[in-house]
Each structure stands twice: as C-alpha cells, then as structure tokens.
A and B are shown apart, each in its own frame.
Chain A
C-alpha cells in the first residue's frame, strides 16, 4: 500500500485536472474525467467522483476488475501524479460529497482560467447532476510530470 503524505494530499485535493483510467476484462481501456479526489485519513485510500451519466462504462470496468488509475495534473504547472490501485463504487453519495466536488470544480475552473480557457467552455467540462463516488486503495504512485522523470515511481 502506498502512503500519501501531506504535501501530496494537498496537491491531489487542489484544483487539479483529474483523469480516470479503467479497463474491462478483455483489456479494453477507458478514460473519463474525474472530480473531487480526496485522501482518506488512513492516507492509503483515495475517493473520487464520476458523473453518473458518463460513468456506465468505467463503473462496469471497476465492477469487473477493480483496477483503477487516476492522474491529477496542475493545469498551470503540469505537475502530474498517477495513483494506481484497486477499489469499488460506493453505494451512495452524500451532501458532503457534493459540496466537496463543488469545491474542487471551483478550484479547477479558476486554474484553467489562468491558462486561457473560456469560462463557458471550462464549465462544460462537467455535467451538473448525479455523482458516483469511487473509493480505492492506492498501491502505487508515479511521477507523471512531462520530462525525463515521467513514469518513475514516487
């Protein structure tokens, strides 16, 4: 199990762009935007959220294989970290979850505005509506920042 320290937690929970990778049992990969990554007090478990309307395929993958990868990237500096592990979808989301996602989206939209994304286009990156929380245990973490060190383990 990989233990997330405070500095990495702060990064993961900032206005990063989140991409979620999954694969079905036949090895077909799928990528979706993710929202609201959050580090559990245990520091070895992370939650994130998928939009229900966009999530049937990755949720099917997670149910089938349990394998999950997420990459969090700072839109301004390109600092990027990939977390990999196994997990599952939570049965329900709470009002607190929704507030957490709203906070992340506000930070994300502020970050991409700095690099020139029009506000209406940034807003269209997500669907306001039902969310599905996914919890996973982080087994490995990688530096994903572009450069010679990309892909190296943290």
Chain B
C-alpha cells in the first residue's frame, strides 16, 4: 500500500521505540506554543500514533482546545529526524493499546523497584496528517533487520526433536545467537506455585545466575511474566534517567531475590523479555540482553515471541526428566541444610534453596545412609518427603539448575546425567551433613 505521507511511518519503525525522546508542540488558546519531550510515540498503524498521557497537563489542555500537534521523532541508528503533523482523535483508558503502553511505562519504573510512579491516565490516539523528513547531511536509511524464516523453521524442527529439557534449553540459547544475533540470553521457568521464576539456563553472562529467583510481578522480568506481555527496553540509560527524574531520588533495586543475582550484563542497554506460554499457562520467560542501545527491534520482538511459544510447547511436551565415587582422605566439607526454606550451604557458602535445595539434601542423605550414587527421576517423584506436586513438578528443571549451581560453586560435588531419567551423584570429598533444626522436620 502506498503511504499518503512523504515518509511512511512503517518505513521508520525505530523512531517509535522510545530510544531517543520525541518532542511535541501544541498551541494554547492564546496562540502560545507549548513544547516538551515525550518518552514514547507509539505507532498504532500506518495512519495513527498514540501518545502517553502522564505528566503533561498543558499539552492535554491545549489539545482539548486545539486538536493539532506536531511531533518530532528521531531515528536512533542514524539521527535522521522527522516531523509528524497530528490531529488528536480520542483517548483510550483501557484495552490492548492502553495495556501495552502501561506495561512499557511500568517496565521503566521497575528498574528502580517502583510502582505507580508513571501512572498512565490515558493514551491519546492521534491521526497522522503528514510525516516529513527534516533536511539532514547524512540521509541514508537505517538497515531494516530481516527475519530468516528458513532458520526459524529449522529451529522449530530441531526443537520438536528434543529429547529432554536440557536439550530444549541448549537449542533455545543457541537459537538466540543464530536467529537474533543475541549472545546474552537466559531462560527462567515458573515454579510450581506460579509465584516465582527461577533461572535454569543462561549463556554469555559473567555469572550464569543459575538458580537465581524473582517474584512474578517484580522487576522487568517478573512484570513480563505477570502481564503475559513482551517487554522491550531500548535504552536502559535513558529509561533509568527518566525513572530517576520522575521519582527524584535513586535506589538500586531490580526486584530480584539477590541471594543469587539474575544473569545480567554490567553495561546492558537493551533488554527483551518474552513470556513463554503453553495452553495459556505461564511456563517461564525468555530474556535477552545487549550492551547496545536499540539492539532489539520490533521484528526481533515478533521473532522472540514465536520462539518463546515454541519453546514453551516443547517444555510442556518433554515434561519436567534427569550421581559418585567415594571421597578420599580430604577435609570434610560441611553441608548445612536449613529446613525452613530448604537452603543448603557448603562450608557456610550459600548454594541453593527451595525445591532444588530439598532435592540435594535428600540425595546426600540417601548417599550417606545407603552409599548409593545412582538415582532416577521416577524415584524422586515418588519420594513423598520432597513434597513435589502431583502434576507439573518441574523436577527436571530443578535438577538442571542444581547441576549448574554445583558446577559453579564447587569441584567435589556433581550431578551427571547417565541416561534418560537417570542421574548420578559424584562426590570426591568427604561430606559432613548438618541439618539445622528450625522446627521443621529434616528429610
């Protein structure tokens, strides 16, 4: 379809991602212009944009009297600038568009653990009358990133052939690099209570973050899971500045349970978090990070969404399936277990907690009492002391993250897969098991 404008809105999609703040000018009853910055101009379709109604009382007052406005948007990758002539059409206070923009703003607030700071009172939908470029010295357009359907099809095909969760996760992280050119990604799964997410696999981070947890609804990752909406952050530094300005004070809080920090790039500028849903149930999230501003575009969001759905279905299909020579003459390592939160410490260094902690403690107790090293997923599921739910126990995922945590934290305790649904506990140092009595029965 031919655009009625000098520049078609869809030809400059990155102008509408909030990477660089836009500017809006309206006119008051006295003919006086009013000019201010906007965080995001959202492209609704080829002839409409939406503006968030937050702080700009004068802008609202002006448009109620004179519906005309002009907006300046900047293409982040090139600096090309465009002006859009707008006519205010209507305000939405509910619905998909409103919720999408609300989540975008709440994600900014989530950087600092805030909520209700960017209360979105409405979304002003405006008809675009013209979109024109301002003259510039370097008018070359930004390259539009293509999506390789062949690669996506190949990923889908390989995923369908995955034998177990380990395989699904490995293929997913590989696909983030191959399909999205993103080498910093992690997968979090929803726990049995659907209250928390825990990291089960990651690639490309200084620390894997395996076993890190976050409450659903907390932070950007938790927010994406709670709202079942993809969140794409295009300029972390600017969003932080915006959040800071609005609150007037600064506090570091990513919303996570930082017993183990979430995987994170120290200089991240872009983030894409996509919920993984299967049969309308939250399976987990796929999270990507980049040190470049504007690294994830709208096309990437679509692609990540398709991937996330495929991964969710693959995880649902494989279900949640996954041991040790005797130690010799070394100082025993103290393994301390706190039953109240099922946390495990190795020589007083925190290792893991929750269900995975309970599983490890159970394995070590069996090893201690029976000198057994080979285990099966099936017996774990039948072990009433672990308290796994009857359905959707996520056992395999717990074993994966337990294995990763052990690989990160020590060299004398390993969980090795020995076959489908079987694993071995490998212990190369003597262990001293200490259950801390907190009133709850130890396993």
Contact = CB atoms under 8 A, between A and B. Distances in A.
A128 B137 contact: yes
A14 interface: no
Interface string B80-92: 1101010000000
A115 B238 contact: yes
A123 B137 CA distance: 9
Interface in B351-386: none
Interface stretch (A1-9, A78-86, A96-104): A78-86
A29 B126 CA distance: 15
Interface in B235-290: 235-238, 241-242, 244-248, 269
Contact of B37 (A19, A22, A30, A127): A19
A71 B241 contact: no
A19 B35 CA distance: 7
B34 A69 contact: yes
Contacts of B35: 19-21, 31, 69-71, 82
A52 B148 CA distance: 44
Contact of A53 (B27, B74, B135): B135
B423 to A, nearest CB: 44
B296 to A, nearest CB: 13
B292 A124 contact: no
Contact of A23 (B33, B36, B74, B293): B33
How many A residues touch the partner, as a band? Answer: 35 or more
A29 B26 contact: yes
A142 B36 CA distance: 11
Contacts of A31: 23-25, 35, 70-72, 83
Nearest to A51: B135
A115 B20 CA distance: 10
A146 interface: yes
A95 interface: no
A102 to B, nearest CB: 15
A73 interface: yes
Interface in B11-39: 20-21, 23-27, 31-37, 39
Interface string A107-132: 00000001111101111110110000
B81 A33 contact: yes
B134 interface: yes
Interface string A36-76: 00000000000000000110000000000101111101011
A68 B25 CA distance: 11
Nearest to B59: A151
Given A29-B25, A125-B79, A150-B56, A22 B245 contact: no
B55 interface: yes
A151 B57 contact: yes
Contacts of B237: 76, 114-116
Contacts of A65: 31
Main secondary structure of the interface of A (DSSP, over half): mixed
A151 B33 contact: no
A91 interface: no
B79 A123 contact: yes
B38 to A, nearest CB: 9
Given A30-B70, A31-B24, A121-B78, A116 B293 contact: yes
A117 B234 CA distance: 11
B66 interface: yes
Contacts of B54: 146
B388 interface: no
A65 B138 CA distance: 33
B37 A147 contact: no
A117 B36 contact: no
A29 B293 contact: no
B158 interface: no
A94 interface: no
A10 B78 CA distance: 30
B31 A27 contact: yes
B316 interface: no
Given A29-B33, A117-B76, A150 B57 contact: yes
A61 to B, nearest CB: 8
B198 to A, nearest CB: 30
Given A19-B23, A147-B55, A82 B245 contact: no
B238 A124 contact: no
Interface string B53-79: 011111000000010111110111111
Interface of B: 20-21, 23-27, 31-37, 39, 54-58, 66, 68-72, 74-81, 83, 85, 134-138, 235-238, 241-242, 244-248, 269, 292-294
28 contacts: A17-B21, A17-B37, A19-B25, A19-B35, A19-B72, A23-B27, A23-B33, A28-B85, A30-B70, A32-B72, A54-B135, A80-B36, A82-B34, A82-B35, A115-B237, A116-B237, A116-B293, A121-B77, A124-B138, A125-B81, A127-B137, A142-B58, A146-B54, A146-B55, A147-B55, A147-B246, A151-B56, A151-B58
Closest 9 CB pairs of A and B: A21-B35, A124-B79, A116-B293, A78-B245, A21-B33, A121-B79, A21-B25, A150-B55, A31-B25
Given A29-B27, A127-B137, 14 more contacts: A19-B35, A27-B31, A28-B85, A29-B25, A69-B34, A78-B246, A84-B33, A115-B293, A116-B237, A121-B79, A124-B137, A147-B245, A151-B56, A151-B57
